[in-house]
Structure 1
Amino acid sequence: MREIDVERQNFENETRKYRRKIWVSIGILIVFIVLVASIISTLIYFSVKTPKSKKNDKIIPLQVPFLGKIKVVEQQNVVKKIYSPKEVEIPPLVVPSPHVEPEPEPKIVPKAEKILEADPVEVMSKESIMTNFIEIAKNKRVKIIEGDFETCSAGKCGTHNGEFVHEWKLKAVSEDLKVQSPTELEAEFDKIIRYDKHNLQYGKYYTSVLTYVQTFKIFKKNVTRVETHNKDPDRLYDMRLNAFAAYAEDFGDITFYPIKSPLFTLPKTAGVIQDFDQEIHIDWRKKDAVSEVMHQGPCGSCWAVAATDVFNSFMTIKKGRKFEMSYQQVLDCTDRTYTCERGGNHAKALDYIKKNKICLNTQNEYKKKVGICDVSDCKLDSEIVKIKRMNHDEALKYLKEKGPFLTSLETNTNFLLYDDGIYNGGCEKGRGHSIVVVGYGYDTKRKVNYWIVKNSWGKGWGEEGYFRIIDSSKMEDNVEKYHCDFTAQSYGIE
């Protein structure tokens, strides 16, 4: 029995030892597995790109030996530099966890906080402009005539057979010019030469250097205006650089005068022209019932000239022979408050002709200025019974049956630079210009009606002193409005 117990005891002891070995092995295996898993997890964590800093991340200062103090973002043990726009490209600093080598992030090119404005391009200096002008003139074989404005105006600068330009003009332009390159300067030089030729053609002169500079600016502006307009394939009329090319913007201060309140009122009932009447074609010039085109000159006398022209047509048609009343008489005698600068009223001029004895043009020729009213030799009666103010339809009927009528047009620069065609440009309020309507027609190509109108700016303007203007209308507030209110100031005589 004792031997059996000893063997049992030995067996149990061996069994316990074996079990302990198994549990120790299992424990070692578990520890190994945990350790491996920890290492793998750590490696995976640092292989992923560091996330961007968020709004609530804490910003702390960090001292780095070779960079000095910089700003970093503390974010789950990761610190990331915040760049300013002007800093150089430096790899962002990473503060790693213990025993793990940091992986550098890719370079980040910092974005500028603000796009800097480009520096303004420098314009050429006055001295540089003048130097270039001299070189351009040399290359173009244009002689520069030396001398200032006063000397040359007195005729002491000499002459040149070939193409030339005055030195004082180049200096005057360079004082006011703002260009950035010699290419622009060459175009400017060409315009100076072109302006000189224009002034020579129309006999224009300057009273001062300032006048030259101011009118040259207007001329350049109108060069662009004309060239731009004439490129339009759908235009109804052409423009050109005529005598008004350098004075167009302020010409109204000399020759235009706002139309005053009507002297005669429209009747309450008005005749109506049927649509088929719009196809008529009238031209009183073909019946020799229109006076020669004249030039009113620098005097604002369009009101007197137009009123006299209408009366001349009235008398020519009535008498069957040419009749020419004195333009100067109407200019001098209608109203002593009317001047060349102030202008006058064409309706009042008709009223003067109706009520007074008249002189022929040969007795008192037009002088382009207001003079003393002298009617001592005026013996003829006007034979006018009535002055009639008309609306659009009445004016067209009058033109068809009785003769030319008087009206006015609110003008603008485009009209002053008119060359030919059917004017359909704009009109400028307050710049009334008196004119005489002598005909009416229909353009089959453009499919528009138009008036044929006599002007008083000489035969060199427009279509040999005449122009055509579109007769069109549109409804505004249930009222039919005609282009430029063309017949709003229409008058006929009977």
Structure 2
Amino acid sequence: MYSSKELCAALLFATILGIQIFDSHQVTKATLNSQEWADYKTKYSKTYTSASTPEAYALFYYNYNKKLINSHNVLADRGQSTYRLAINQFTDMRLIHFKALFPKTTQPTTSSATTPPAVQAAGTSFDPITDLGLTIEVEDQGTVCNSGWAYATAKAVEIFAANENAVATPTPLSAQNLIDCAGSGTGCTKQVSQTAFDYLVVYNQPLYTKVDYKNNNLLKVQGMCVQPTTTTGTPINLASYARITDADDATMLNYVFNGFPVVIEFDPTSFAFMHYSSGIFQQPHTYGGSHYMTVIGYGTDTTTNLDYWLVLNSFGTTWGENGYIRILRDTSKPLAKSALFPTALGA
């Protein structure tokens, strides 16, 4: 048996190294008696491979992350942070496991992007939901497939088509269509949004609706590309897309204002992004990863007076502000990285 001093020293050493030590028997016992944990599993449809060690780890990380979330929100309450965190579908994971879902991607060396159209200068703010009455369905890519590249592209095309056709409530387009058919074997790992745009434009492929080509966020690898033989919705064809030079947020502002949703690459590998709940997000330290989201608007927060980008994510409505994140808009911290946007619909 170890003395109390030895145990304390071991725990201190483990804390310094970032190692989490716990008694799996005690954690499992807590799992069985915790209504909060049961409610969490129900809310997020969580299942574990066994009732012992895997679930014990999940509960431990849940409790550990919950403490960090509460500590951050104390700072927010004191005005020392511009955003808040909350429990969500990732709270039963370690940050290192969350990070592993978003490996760093490499952009293609060539592009089929065309010259973007001329547009009018941007106004002080823009939100297609309130300004245009657009209804956008927030998607959930799940927790097993790094498919943000496909979800962001599908949403960009969907919103662009809705603006072009003056449709207030567009039928959601299928990210799974892109994952399966444009994924090139890496649809759930290191794929990029340009591959999706090239699939639609260069190969002149239609993007089917979610009704006709159902999304499946439980797949850990991309599925087989099987296009529907009959359709109930109207697939969208894209004729061209354009690129925004990295760090050119001023150009992105103009195009977003004129109804061109822009797909960006973003590093999600921080505890704060993992658990973002509300407010103006300011990127903390990250570990290097890639995730793709869609910039649809911008504005100025009336509480903090901070400028922000309005960004649509694909983590479902229980993450962030009903599925959205407001990211600080600051010329010293540009957001327009690997930025692409649709520019013309096809026949």
Decide: shared fold, TM above 0.5. Answer: yes
How far has the Cα of 1:121 moved from its partner? 3.4
Give the aligned partner of residue 408 of structure 1.
Answer: 265
Matching of residue 419 in structure 1 with residue 277 in structure 2? yes
How far has the Cα of 1:248 moved from its partner? 4.5
1:283-362 equivalence runs, <5 A = 283-286=127-130, 287-289=132-134, 291-297=136-142, 298-321=144-167, 322-340=170-188, 342-355=189-202, 356-358=204-206, 359-362=208-211
Counterpart CA distance in 2 for 1:191 and 1:230 is: 28
Judging changes above 3 Å, is the alpha-carbon distance between structure 1 residues 386 and 454 closer, same or farther for their aligned structure 2 residues? closer
The question of whether the paired residues in 2 share the 8 Å contact of 1:392 and 1:488 is answered with no
Counterpart CA distance in 2 for 1:381 and 1:228 is: 46
The question of whether the paired residues in 2 share the 8 Å contact of 1:351 and 1:387 is answered with no
- Give the alignment partner of residue 69 of structure 2, picking from 204, 207, 226: 226
Counterpart CA distance in 2 for 1:382 and 1:190 is: 49
Counterpart CA distance in 2 for 1:307 and 1:198 is: 31
Counterpart CA distance in 1 for 2:134 and 2:190 is: 27
The question of whether the paired residues in 2 share the 8 Å contact of 1:313 and 1:323 is answered with no
User: Aligned partner of 1:361: which letter?
Assistant: K
Judging changes above 3 Å, is the alpha-carbon distance between structure 1 residues 316 and 419 closer, same or farther for their aligned structure 2 residues? same
Counterpart CA distance in 1 for 2:32 and 2:72 is: 19
1:189-268 equivalence runs, <5 A = 193=34, 194-208=36-50, 209-232=52-75, 233-234=78-79, 235-249=81-95, 250-254=97-101, 256-262=102-108, 263-264=110-111
Counterpart CA distance in 1 for 2:224 and 2:140 is: 21
The question of whether the paired residues in 2 share the 8 Å contact of 1:305 and 1:327 is answered with yes
Counterpart CA distance in 2 for 1:290 and 1:491 is: 22
- Give the alignment partner of residue 459 of structure 1, picking from 281, 295, 317: 317
Deviations 1:57-114 (A, max 9, x none): xxxxxxxxxxxxxxxxxxxxxxxxxxxxxxxxxxxxxxxxxxxxxxxxxxxxxxxxxx
Counterpart CA distance in 2 for 1:216 and 1:448 is: 37
Deviations 1:465-493 (A, max 9, x none): 1111111243xxxxxxx1xx521121122
Counterpart CA distance in 1 for 2:27 and 2:323 is: 39
Counterpart CA distance in 2 for 1:221 and 1:291 is: 34
The question of whether the paired residues in 2 share the 8 Å contact of 1:410 and 1:427 is answered with no
How far has the Cα of 1:344 moved from its partner? 1.4
| SS of 2:200 mapped into structure 1 | helix
Matching of residue 121 in structure 1 with residue 20 in structure 2? no
How far has the Cα of 1:446 moved from its partner? 1.0
User: Aligned partner of 1:121: which letter?
Assistant: K
Give the aligned partner of residue 149 of structure 1.
Answer: none
Counterpart CA distance in 2 for 1:407 and 1:357 is: 22
Which runs of 5 or more structure 1 residues have no equivalent in the other structure?
Answer: 1-118, 125-169, 177-187, 475-481
The question of whether the paired residues in 2 share the 8 Å contact of 1:441 and 1:452 is answered with yes
- Give the alignment partner of residue 24 of structure 2, picking from 169, 172, 176: 172
Q: Using the TM superposition, name which of 311-320 and 423-432 deviates more.
A: 423-432
1:153-164 equivalence runs, <5 A = none
User: Aligned partner of 2:329: which letter?
Assistant: D
Counterpart CA distance in 2 for 1:288 and 1:354 is: 28
Counterpart CA distance in 2 for 1:383 and 1:219 is: 43
User: Aligned partner of 1:221: which letter?
Assistant: Y
Give the aligned partner of residue 448 of structure 1.
Answer: 306
The question of whether the paired residues in 2 share the 8 Å contact of 1:290 and 1:312 is answered with no
Give the aligned partner of residue 5 of structure 1.
Answer: none
The question of whether the paired residues in 2 share the 8 Å contact of 1:388 and 1:493 is answered with no
TM-score by length of 1: 0.55
User: Aligned partner of 2:146: which letter?
Assistant: G
How far has the Cα of 1:460 moved from its partner? 1.5
- Give the alignment partner of residue 364 of structure 1, picking from 213, 216, 241: 213
Give the aligned partner of residue 399 of structure 1.
Answer: 256
Matching of residue 281 in structure 1 with residue 129 in structure 2? no
Give the aligned partner of residue 477 of structure 1.
Answer: none
Counterpart CA distance in 2 for 1:293 and 1:192 is: 34
Give the aligned partner of residue 159 of structure 1.
Answer: none
The question of whether the paired residues in 2 share the 8 Å contact of 1:454 and 1:465 is answered with yes
How far has the Cα of 1:174 moved from its partner? 4.1
User: Aligned partner of 1:331: which letter?
Assistant: I
Deviations 1:370-427 (A, max 9, x none): 2221236489562423322342111111101232111121012211111111111415
| SS of 1:352 mapped into structure 2 | helix
Matching of residue 438 in structure 1 with residue 296 in structure 2? yes
The question of whether the paired residues in 1 share the 8 Å contact of 2:213 and 2:227 is answered with no
The question of whether the paired residues in 2 share the 8 Å contact of 1:406 and 1:434 is answered with yes
Deviations 1:30-51 (A, max 9, x none): xxxxxxxxxxxxxxxxxxxxxx
The question of whether the paired residues in 2 share the 8 Å contact of 1:409 and 1:432 is answered with yes
Counterpart CA distance in 2 for 1:300 and 1:382 is: 24
The question of whether the paired residues in 2 share the 8 Å contact of 1:409 and 1:427 is answered with no
1:39-54 equivalence runs, <5 A = none
1:61-80 equivalence runs, <5 A = none
| SS of 1:488 mapped into structure 2 | coil
The question of whether the paired residues in 1 share the 8 Å contact of 2:31 and 2:56 is answered with no
The question of whether the paired residues in 2 share the 8 Å contact of 1:240 and 1:417 is answered with yes
User: Aligned partner of 1:241: which letter?
Assistant: I
How far has the Cα of 1:265 moved from its partner? 9.5
TM-score by length of 2: 0.76
The question of whether the paired residues in 2 share the 8 Å contact of 1:218 and 1:246 is answered with yes
The question of whether the paired residues in 2 share the 8 Å contact of 1:290 and 1:309 is answered with no
Counterpart CA distance in 2 for 1:247 and 1:410 is: 18
Counterpart CA distance in 2 for 1:175 and 1:281 is: 49
Which structure has greater helix proportion? Answer: 1
1:476-487 equivalence runs, <5 A = 482=333, 485-487=334-336
Judging changes above 3 Å, is the alpha-carbon distance between structure 1 residues 123 and 427 closer, same or farther for their aligned structure 2 residues? closer
Which runs of 5 or more structure 2 residues have no equivalent in the other structure?
Answer: 9-21
